[in-house]
Amino acid sequence: MLGVVVDGDLDEMRQGKHAVLPEAYANRSFQLSGKPGSGKTVTAERLVFLLAKMGRRIVYVDCKGTDPDLAMRLSAACIAARGPGVRVHHFPSEPLNGWIGTPAEVANRLIATQDTTEPYYESTLQTAVRVAMGVHASQAAGGTVTSSTELMRRFDAAFLTRAYQGTSQQSLVADLVRDRQVLPGVKMRFAALFEAVAGGFDGTASYGDADLIFLSLPFASKADATAVVRLLLADFTHYCSDPSRKDRRGDDVKMIIDEASALTHLSDQIIDLAERVRDVGGSVDVSNQSFEGSGDNEDQRKRLRGAMAGGTILHSSDNPEPFGTADDPVDTRGVVVQAA
């Protein structure tokens, strides 16, 4: 139950005087919006309970990381819904395996963690990550990269030069290492990311291994937290759409990203994630404090609103209009719910 219905025409979300989550809505993405303290996280907790009851596994991303009891309350909600046997995984204290997939897939996810505004740097960073991961070459010495330590070892001019000696990529690597600043710069960026999670991506668990995966971000720097979330979201997209996964369906798992606007420039990735997981039946809910806070610009906010196909669960807000009745023809049916 989400609350008590006061008014509205969204009849499928009503059950007597209560607002509920119908099974048909369980796989739709929702945006939760409202002022700080307006009850978004409490609503998310209720969604977790209802979804767990419907047999969904939950991946909960706590972008704020300021509520020390949240993980426990979410575990309690899952246990209440499904019994004491639920498996809970708590990242980063319990690591995940960030190295699943082909070298190219892992390289793409690593590249997606970085905000590169300068085009020259962007292309050199991509090349550095790809050659270090051995994307171009089965020839790359040392085999597949399966840990952050191994990747760090490869951001090294002598190593890469040796590994690609006599291969078709030899001149590419020569170009890459010519500017002596580049490789150490890339290495430093990823070192910071891996240091922040302290081995958090070097585990064996995957998104499929728990009923509740709680991802908290107790990091000192917002840049580190953003990079970590970018990698987690990319890993989740890969998990949902991985053709090698048995029974490739996303409708058994829901990701909830709480307080996405606490981090910077995530909206495009969240839109992309929502659209991709929707293709395999999955969904992602995202919470933010206002329409303005839901994206970097108007276009992004509207696209996010569109990608959240279930609609917006709007809490107390100073500017509710853009979520519904504004300039473009969105479905504005709804119910007004009172907390209960």
| Shortest distance in whole angstroms from residue 181 CB to Mg ion | 41
**Interface with ligand ADP (CB under 6 A):** 34, 36-42, 315, 339
Cβ proximity to ligand ADP: between 37 and 184 the closer is 37
Smallest gap from residue 37 Cβ to Mg ion (A): 8
The count of residues in the chain is 340
Neighbours of 20 (CB within 10 A): 16
In the list ligand ADP, Mg ion, none, the entry touching 42 (Cβ below 5 to 8 angstroms by class) is: ligand ADP
Judged by beta carbon distances under 5 to 8 A according to partner kind, the member of Mg ion, ligand ADP, none in contact with residue 339 is ligand ADP
Pairing of strands 283-288, 57-62: unpaired
Instruction: Give the span between the Cα atoms of 220 and 234, in whole angstroms.
Output: 22
Residue whose CB is less far from ligand ADP, 63 or 100: 63
Please identify, using beta-carbon distances, which residue of 188 and 339 lies nearer to Mg ion: 339
Closer of 4 and 309 to ligand ADP (Cβ): 4
33, 41, 237, 289: residue in contact with Mg ion (rule CB under 5 A): 41
When the beta carbons of 2 and 137 are compared against ligand ADP, the nearer one is 2
CB 225 within 8 A of CB 63: yes
Instruction: Give the separation between CA 62 and CA 215, rounded to whole angstroms.
Output: 6
Q: Which of 299, 297, 305 is nearest to 325 (CA)?
A: 305
From ligand ADP, Mg ion, none, which one binds at residue 39 (CB under 5 to 8 Å depending on kind)?
ligand ADP
Q: Is the dihedral of CA 36, 37, 38, 43 positive or negative?
A: positive
Closest by CA to 56, choosing from 285, 227, 242, is 285
Amino acid in the structure at residue 108: N
Cα 54 from Cα 21, distance rounded (Å)? 10
109 vs 211: CA distance, rounded Å: 24
Hey, which residues between 223 and 262 contact Mg ion (CB under 5 A)?
A: none
- Select from Mg ion, ligand ADP, none the partner in contact with residue 34, using the beta carbon and a kind-dependent cut-off of 5 to 8 Å: ligand ADP
Tell me which of ligand ADP, Mg ion, none is bound by residue 199, counting a contact when its beta carbon lies within the kind-specific cut-off of 5 to 8 angstroms: none
State which residue, 131 or 314, has the beta carbon closest to ligand ADP. Answer: 314
Contacts with Mg ion by CB under 5 A lie at 40-41
